[in-house]
Amino acid sequence: MNKNRRTALIVALAMIVLIGGALVAYRTLAPGTTAVAPQEAPSQTATSTTEAPATESEVLDEPRLADFDATVYDEYGAPHKLTELAGERPLVLNFWATWCPFCVDEMPDFKEIYAEFGDRVSFAFIDVTDGRRETKEAAVDWLLQNDLQELPAYFDTDLDATTVFAARSLPTTVIIAGDGEILSASAGRIDPTLVRANLSSLT
């Protein structure tokens, strides 16, 4: 695709994630609430967000998954393109790490959502595997210890997907329609009711 168009799409998606994170921070700092300090970034890639639920981002001007395709790896090191993981079904991407308390906190909700929608929606739980603060071994062990091994986990050891989706705050959740249109990108802990409503509308 045109290089200028790809750059514009990446900038637009990054702005959506940043706006979502700003709204989360605003709600957290509103009167009557307590601010939670973000985690220190392991690199220039990702930090942990506040505990507030993620806000639904505005719909972009029809960006497509194919414009943001990236390679992640399964537990055995086999590469997978995001477009391949989606197939022709809606796709939920969740960028997470074991050191992120709000990623850990939302995983039981995601386990239930996956059990409800996994037969008609594709999921990819993408561990931001920088090799320093987060390793594949630590993530695999954590999933096993918390009875979450059935979740389709992938490892972004090249930080390819993390960079393409500008997932600088964790967790970040992206919802993509079956035709590949990227519908939303939200930073912060998910609102399970909102995620269920969005997925129900797509299936």
Tens digits of per-residue pLDDT, 141-151? 999 999 999 99
Q: Nearest 10 degrees: CA dihedral of 42, 44, 48, 52?
A: 170
Tens digits of per-residue pLDDT, 16-30? 444 344 333 333 323
> Is the predicted pLDDT of residue 163 greater than 50, yes or no?
yes
**Hey, is 162 helix, strand or coil?**
helix
Tens digits of per-residue pLDDT, 72-113? 999 999 999 999 999 999 999 999 999 999 999 999 999 999
Going by C-alpha positions, the residue among 73, 50, 69 that lies closest to residue 135 is 73
The span from the CA of 51 to the CA of 66, in Å, is 31
* Contact present, 142 and 23 (Cβ < 8 Å): no
**Hey, is 62 helix, strand or coil?**
coil
User: Into how many domains does the chain fold?
Assistant: 1
Going by C-alpha positions, the residue among 82, 89, 90 that lies closest to residue 162 is 82
> Is the predicted pLDDT of residue 44 greater than 70, yes or no?
no
**CB half-sphere exposure, 163, CA atoms < 13 A:** 13
* Entry pTM: 0.76
Predicted confidence at residue 62, as pLDDT, reads: 76
User: Domain holding 140: CATH number?
Assistant: 3.40.30.10
Domain that holds residue 129: 3-202
Percent of the chain beyond pLDDT 70? 70
Q: What is the mean pLDDT of residues 181-200?
A: 96
Phi, psi of 130 (to 5 degrees): -85, -10
* Contact present, 46 and 170 (Cβ < 8 Å): yes
**C-alpha dist (Å) from residue 148 to 22, 56, 94, 140, 195:** 30, 25, 14, 9, 19
Question: 29-41 burial by CB neighbour count: b if 16+ within 10 A, else e?
Answer: eeeeeeeeebbee
